[in-house]
Amino acid sequence: MSAIRQVSGDERLRTAFTLYPYAFDETPSPAAVEDLRGLLPYHEGNHTLIAEEDARTLATAAAFPAWQNLRGVVSPMAGIAWVATHPAARRQGHSRRLMRRLHSDMVDKGHRLATLFPFHPSFYDKLGYICLPQNPTATFTPEGLAPLLDVRLPGEVRWQNIKDGFDTYRAFQRTLLPRWHGFTYTPDYRAARVLDAANRWLVTATVGDTVAGTMTYRIDGYGGALIVDELLCADAIGRALLLRFLAQHAHQVTTITVTVAPDDFPETWASGLAVRTEAETAFPTAPPLMARLLSMEALHGAHCGPGRVAIEVVDDQLLAGRYLLDGSGGTLEVSASGTGERATLTAAGLSGLAYGVLDPLDVVARGLGEITDAAAAELRSLLPRRVPRSFGKG
């Protein structure tokens, strides 16, 4: 059986990085491995594992440290990435073993949540992950926002290259982290990819001395498209200021495409705005984010409704056990199992309830648990449906 070990620094070039070009890029490319040397700084704090046999790297998986908001509680989160296997070593269990070891290592480091973009969702289903809603894009013409040009708004916008406004951009993301369920804040060494490339414009909306919104974007050519990465706004005024800035690009670009949250409604941004809102999911090219709990501690203190239910988590090396979920105090308390309505859940079923993307009946219908009607009512009150704003890729 292959041995699993952690690698770091330049050793990644001779081990994990040898698999990346084949798995994620156009091949063959003789210079690809050496070109990856430039990516080393963006892996600086990653926890990188390899499976090897006779000094040959067969598979790899990595995680970067981040923070994520789960129902009002900000917890350390592991961002799983760079999962790859040599083509001759596939379907032999290497990636599954690496993922289990990676989960265990990240829990030991204090991480309570994990997210990833799956290459094959059913593989991660069995590892306890659940799909989160895809962030849709809204596409419209700049002329559609023309009504905003005549509106007097408090505040102003500042336009600059991302390289000059990086600190402001990151500081605003930190303010959103405790406010938005599902929001992720990545480490500086990973977020620096957008800084070092310097291929984005940054617009910052401020009201007084307070930042009310930011967006990074690029223009693909005269008469082409203006593409906004993520529309991040603290309130409606911040959004209106950013949209008014976009309206000023009439006669320069033909269309504007903005990535928005699943619970945003672009058709309400301006009267008569003709907009196409869509979310494409395709594997492996456009997968939705998947997430799971690594520790029951992630639920401690979460905002919840009233309720009390005893659950048993099964078939999971990290969460298996019996617990009591109690929301009588307005925030969730998790303790050793006691009295109450009972439910049996897989890790994916519990994660779907925790992130607010599944109703208890969805859990049952998908075979992710067995829940009585009484327990379903308690869980529905404790962990009501809630849309994660899974922004903040960094």
> Which pLDDT belongs to residue 394?
53
pLDDT for 33: 65
pLDDT by residue (tens digit) across 16-42? Answer: 999 998 999 888 877 776 678 888 999
Residue 259 and residue 176: Cα distance in Å, rounded?
A: 17
Which residue, 121, 180, 114, 154, is CA-closest to 351? 114
Quote the mean pLDDT of the chain: 95
Cα–Cα distances in angstroms (integers) from residue 79 to residues 62, 63, 112, 166, in the given order: 8, 5, 11, 22
- Global pTM value: 0.95
pLDDT at 194: 79
Helices (H), 126-235: 162-176, 188-197
Distance, in Å, from the CA atom of 13 to the CA atom of 217, rounded to the nearest integer, reads 32
Alpha carbon of residue 261 to chain centroid? 12
User: Low-confidence residues of the chain, pLDDT below 70?
Assistant: 33-34, 338, 393-394
Q: How many helices (H) and strands (E) does the chain have?
A: 11, 21
Backbone dihedral region of 208: left (phi > 0), alpha (psi from -120 to 50 degrees) or beta?
Answer: left
Using an 8 Å Cβ cutoff, are 39 and 46 in contact? no
Q: Which domains does the chain have, with CATH numbers?
A: 3-116 (3.40.630.30), 137-278 (3.40.630.30), 292-382 (3.30.1050.10)
**pLDDT at residue 35 in the model:** 78
Kindly state the tokens that stand for 2: 């292959």
Q: Convert the pLDDT of each residue in 243-288 to its tens digit.
A: 999 999 999 999 999 999 999 999 999 999 999 999 999 999 999 9
Crossing angle, helix 162-176 and helix 188-197, to 10 degrees? 150
Helix, strand, or coil (residue 76): strand
